[in-house]
Amino acid sequence: MIIFDKLWDVMKAKGVSTYQLREKCGIDSKTVRRLRANDNMETKTLNKLCSVLDCRLEDIAEYVPDE
């Protein structure tokens, strides 16, 4: 399973709110809810996040084996 727990830490460290994500990236509130729920994400969404946060994919997402 891919989890996005690190995303919220990176956003906090960089002072980026979910509102700013929606405005800067064009990421809608439905996608933000899906990120919080660790649902599937399109790679283009992940690309947008890395671009706006100036980070690498491994900074915002992590693979955790299913138990």
Look up residue 51 and give its amino acid: S
How do residues 10-29 score in pLDDT, each as one tens digit?
999 999 999 998 887 789 99
Number of domains in the chain: 1
Q: In this structure, what CATH number is given to the domain that contains residue 23? A: 1.10.260.40
Q: How many CB atoms lie within 10 A of CB 36?
A: 13
Class of residue 31 by CB neighbours under 10 A (exposed 0-12, middle 13-18, buried 19+): buried
61 lies in some domain = no
9 lies in some domain = yes
Domain of 11 in residue numbering reads as 2-56
Q: How many CB atoms lie within 10 A of CB 17?
A: 10
Its pTM stands at: 0.88
How do residues 33-48 score in pLDDT, each as one tens digit?
999 999 999 999 999 9
Provide the β-strand partners of residue 63: 2
